[in-house]
């Protein structure tokens, strides 16, 4: 039997068809449109489902036992009783809820919020966005039958059940990590009834079989089972090989460093994960973005940057690069002898130092598994290995989130 892993990201939806040995038989992709204006960042939730349908149909899949789904987290869409969106979905990139975040700080305090939810107070999370919707679009808020995350919205469309997993639920700032359920204080404060939130399940368990209409649109039998997936960063880490003692590093526009069961007091954002393990995730905001910036300044491509960096020694001849451009990156140690290679090497070393610091914050690691666009740079990977002094390997596939979803599909279908 074969199985499908779907990865609904912010700008693209992807799907892969795998056989029982994990060999990729087919791939497909479909773009997702982001609507931005004055701090808002929205998407048509209908486009989520249409993208998934296009991708799965394009696989022309046969002998499919199960589907697993990875999606962007934090985003949500209000729906009516029939599961139809009442407006655009508010995505994780939306930054309008600053006043609502401050209100949560005043009422609960940052310490209580973190102890309950594992989240630092930030307007990116779902709860402040829900409060924003309540304050600015009260009629729409009152009309909503449910507020659904991308994963449970897709599960509803495919199977008729709005079920989310714990990694998605715990990204909302409405989920109590210790109780492993929606938090009563926060839901009461926000005026959200429990039945307005999705059912919570465990990743890798059965959601249901395809509805007749969904099966027809996907060109699949109604007997295909949908297995509960999770949030994309978590499933990408699963696909990359996260395990006890193994940190994963996602090298994209930003970098995410992830570890299971960090020591108490790490201060990192925490998520519930599959069978009760805690998933810690630390972000470095502008790593790939900083590389892209320097590429533009030097007017060289990424391959040329690697060649330049390889010519500079460890320590970049004293040049140091601060890589967080959100607070103002900086370069120090410049001399009249500084070369362009020193600048690139210093940037790579700056990224590596940030990764090393995040790993230390999480209690260290025995091995690193790296994925994302930056994993294509052998020089960057070598620098990270040298700076962290930790065994490092790149993931065997670029589609790690789809692979993670497929691993869960295979597990839930009882194939392994």
Based on the domain organization, do 389 and 407 belong to the same domain? no
Based on the domain organization, do 186 and 259 belong to the same domain? no
pLDDT, mean of residues 91-99 = 93
pLDDT, mean of residues 362-381 = 95
Based on the domain organization, do 173 and 57 belong to the same domain? yes
User: Band of the pLDDT at 398, cuts 50, 70, 90?
Assistant: confident
pTM of the model: 0.92
Neighbours of 21 (CB within 10 A): 5
Which of 260, 222, 214, 281 is CA-nearest to residue 74?
281
- Residue 275 pLDDT greater than 80, yes or no: no
Which of 193, 41, 211 is CA-nearest to residue 129?
41
Read off φ and ψ for residue 325, nearest 5 degrees.
-75, -10
Q: How far is 193 from 407, CA to CA, in rounded Å?
A: 34
Based on the domain organization, do 252 and 307 belong to the same domain? yes
Which pLDDT score, from 0 to 100, does residue 162 have? 98
Based on the domain organization, do 272 and 170 belong to the same domain? no
146-191 tens-digit pLDDT: 999 999 999 999 999 999 999 999 999 999 999 999 999 999 999 9
Which pLDDT score, from 0 to 100, does residue 287 have? 94
**Angle (deg, nearest 10), helices 378-388 and 340-361:** 50
What SS3 class is residue 160?
coil
Beta bridge partners of 227: 68, 206
Angle at 169 between CA 40 and CA 161, to 5 degrees: 100
Based on the domain organization, do 248 and 185 belong to the same domain? no
Separation of CA 40 from chain center: 19
For residue 11, give both structure tokens.
């700008």
Based on the domain organization, do 129 and 185 belong to the same domain? yes
* Overall domain count for the chain: 2
Q: Which CATH number belongs to the domain containing residue 17 in this structure?
A: 3.30.420.40
Which pLDDT score, from 0 to 100, does residue 266 have? 83
User: Band of the pLDDT at 263, cuts 50, 70, 90?
Assistant: confident
Separation of CA 247 from chain center: 15
Which of 56, 124, 44 is CA-nearest to residue 405?
56
Range of the domain at 157: 2-237+400-412
Q: What is the mean pLDDT of the chain?
A: 95
Q: How far is 225 from 409, CA to CA, in rounded Å?
A: 8
For every residue of 89-135, DSSP letters joined together read: EEPTT---THHHHHHHHHHT-HHHHHHHHS----TTSHHHHHHHHHH
315-344 tens-digit pLDDT: 999 999 999 998 888 999 999 999 999 999
49-69 tens-digit pLDDT: 999 999 999 999 999 999 999
> Strands 77-79, 146-148: parallel, antiparallel or unpaired by DSSP?
antiparallel
Whole-Å CA distances, 230 to 63, 121, 235, 368, 384: 24, 22, 6, 22, 28
9-48 tens-digit pLDDT: 999 999 999 999 999 999 999 999 999 988 889 999 999 9
Which pLDDT score, from 0 to 100, does residue 415 have? 60
For every residue of 252-278, DSSP letters joined together read: SSSEEEEEESPPTT--S-EEEETTTEE
- Residue 304 pLDDT greater than 70, yes or no: yes
Based on the domain organization, do 166 and 299 belong to the same domain? no
Which pLDDT score, from 0 to 100, does residue 274 have? 76
Based on the domain organization, do 233 and 340 belong to the same domain? no
Q: Given CA atoms 143, 145, 151, 157 in this order, what sign does their dihedral have?
A: negative
**41: which residues sit within 8 A by CB, 6+ positions away?**
34, 35, 90, 91, 92, 93, 94, 95
Whether 51 contacts 32, CB under 8 Å: yes
Based on the domain organization, do 281 and 188 belong to the same domain? no
Based on the domain organization, do 298 and 388 belong to the same domain? yes
Which pLDDT score, from 0 to 100, does residue 193 have? 93
Which pLDDT score, from 0 to 100, does residue 327 have? 85
Which of 132, 124, 55 is CA-nearest to residue 91?
124
pLDDT, mean of residues 283-299 = 94
What SS3 class is residue 399?
coil
pLDDT, mean of residues 211-219 = 96
Q: Is 74 left (phi over 0), alpha (psi -120 to 50) or beta?
A: left
**157: which residues sit within 8 A by CB, 6+ positions away?**
49, 83, 211, 214
Based on the domain organization, do 147 and 47 belong to the same domain? yes
């Amino acid at each position: 039997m074969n199985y499908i892993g779907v990865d609904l990201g912010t700008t693209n939806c992807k799907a892969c068809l795998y056989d029982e040995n994990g060999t990729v038989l087919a791939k497909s992709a479909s773009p997702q449109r982001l609507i931005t204006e004055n701090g808002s960042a929205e998407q048509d939730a209908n486009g989520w489902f249409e993208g998934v349908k296009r991708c799965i149909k394009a696989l022309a899949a046969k002998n499919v036992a199960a589907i697993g789904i990875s999606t962007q987290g934090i985003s949500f869409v209000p729906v009516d009783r029939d599961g139809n969106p009442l407006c655009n979905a508010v995505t994780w990139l939306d930054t309008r809820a600053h006043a609502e975040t401050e209100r949560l700080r005043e009422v609960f305090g940052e310490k209580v919020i973190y102890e309950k939810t594992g989240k630092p107070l930030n307007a990116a999370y779902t709860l402040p966005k829900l409060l924003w919707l309540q304050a600015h679009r009260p009629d729409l808020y009152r009309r909503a039958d449910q507020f659904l995350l991308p994963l449970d919205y897709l599960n509803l469309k495919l199977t008729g059940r709005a079920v989310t997993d714990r990694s998605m639920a715990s990204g909302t700032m409405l989920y109590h990590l210790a109780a492993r359920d929606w938090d009563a204080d926060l839901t009461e404060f926000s005026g959200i009834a429990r039945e307005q939130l999705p059912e919570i399940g465990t990743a890798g368990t059965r959601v249901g079989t395809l509805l007749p209409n969904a099966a027809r649109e996907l060109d699949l039998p109604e007997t295909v089972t949908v297995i509960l997936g999770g949030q994309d960063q978590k499933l990408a880490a699963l696909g990359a090989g996260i395990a006890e003692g193994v940190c994963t590093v996602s090298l994209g526009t930003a970098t995410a460093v992830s570890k299971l069961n960090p020591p108490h007091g790490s201060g990192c954002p925490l998520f519930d994960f599959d069978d009760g393990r805690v998933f810690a995730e630390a972000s470095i905001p502008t790593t790939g973005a900083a590389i892209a910036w320097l590429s533009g300044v030097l007017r060289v491509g990424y391959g040329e940057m690697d060649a330049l960096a390889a010519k500079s020694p460890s320590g970049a001849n004293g040049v140091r690069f601060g890589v967080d451009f959100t607070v103002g990156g900086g370069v120090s140690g410049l001399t009249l002898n500084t070369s362009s290679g020193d600048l690139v090497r210093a940037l790579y070393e700056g990224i590596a130092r940030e990764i090393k610091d995040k790993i230390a914050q999480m209690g260290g690691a025995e091995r690193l598994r790296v994925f994302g666009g930056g994993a294509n740079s052998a020089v960057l990977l070598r620098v990270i290995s040298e700076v962290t002094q930790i065994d490092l390997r790149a993931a065997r596939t670029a589609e790690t989130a789809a692979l993670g979803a497929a691993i869960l599909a295979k597990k839930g279908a009882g194939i392994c």
